[in-house]
A and B are shown apart, each in its own frame.
Chain A
Amino acid sequence: MEIAQQLRGTAGAHQVNGARVGIASGNGGDHQFFGTMVIEA
């Protein structure tokens, strides 16, 4: 969600100027399951 906000320019005070490509990761289990995503504006 944060990445989507960043790429849309709606991240407010912590907006990264010019962000066009973002990545996100999530873990589950005992550091066992990993999901990753590349998101672009």
Chain B
Amino acid sequence: MTSRMIAWPIKLLDCCPQSSGGGAIVLASEKYIKDRGLDAVWITGVAHCSESYYLGDRMGRGLTADHADAHALRDSFARAYKMAGVEKPQKQVHVAELYAPFSNTEFHAIEAAGLAGLGESVAQVRDGRFTLGGRSRSIRLAELSVPTLSPSPRWFV
């Protein structure tokens, strides 16, 4: 909180550092995996959604824009969940890796993923619900580690 201001209210340590990296995954058909007895995890839902380019056009669901909500991310999760048969993410999801390049976007992501109600994520984060080893058991998210690609390398779900 004592780092210098970048653009209110975002401070330096609220921002992800400039960096470059990469990762790779190998995708294979179910038949290929099973024929060879390979150890794999399964993609059961995938989706993509985009906002309009101009911030002023992101009006959300109502008559006015609320940039605290990530509508396109919420829609993307809804589509992926539907494909995977996830109806109650707070109960069915065990671990989450949510992209959050700035501190505030962690809250967008948590709520858009349905892991907390709208406007509830801040209090729940402070309460330790999304911390590895945290005390909440009802959704088992405290036992779930979510390393967001965020400036703060804490575990987060």
Contact = CB atoms under 8 A, between A and B. Distances in A.
B29 to A, nearest CB: 16
Contacts, number: 136
Contacts of B95: 3, 6-7, 16, 19, 21-23
A16 B132 contact: yes
A6 B95 CA distance: 8
A34 B49 contact: yes
A16 B49 CA distance: 29
Contact of A27 (B41, B96, B99): B99
A20 to B, nearest CB: 6
Interface residues of A, number: 35
Interface residues of B, number: 50
Contacts of B86: 21, 38
Would you call the interface of chain A mostly helix, strand, loop, or mixed? mixed
Interface in A1-41: 1-4, 6-8, 11, 14-27, 29-41
Interface of B: 23, 25, 39, 41-53, 55, 70, 72-73, 76-77, 79-81, 83-84, 86, 89, 92-99, 101, 105, 109, 112-113, 132, 140, 143-147, 155
Given A23-B93, A36-B76, 7 more contacts: A14-B132, A23-B113, A24-B97, A24-B98, A26-B99, A36-B77, A40-B84
29 contacts: A1-B25, A2-B147, A4-B41, A6-B94, A6-B145, A7-B95, A11-B145, A16-B95, A16-B144, A20-B94, A21-B93, A23-B96, A23-B97, A24-B98, A25-B76, A25-B112, A29-B53, A32-B72, A34-B70, A35-B47, A36-B45, A36-B73, A36-B113, A37-B45, A37-B46, A38-B46, A38-B80, A39-B43, A40-B42
Interface of A: 1-4, 6-8, 11, 14-27, 29-41
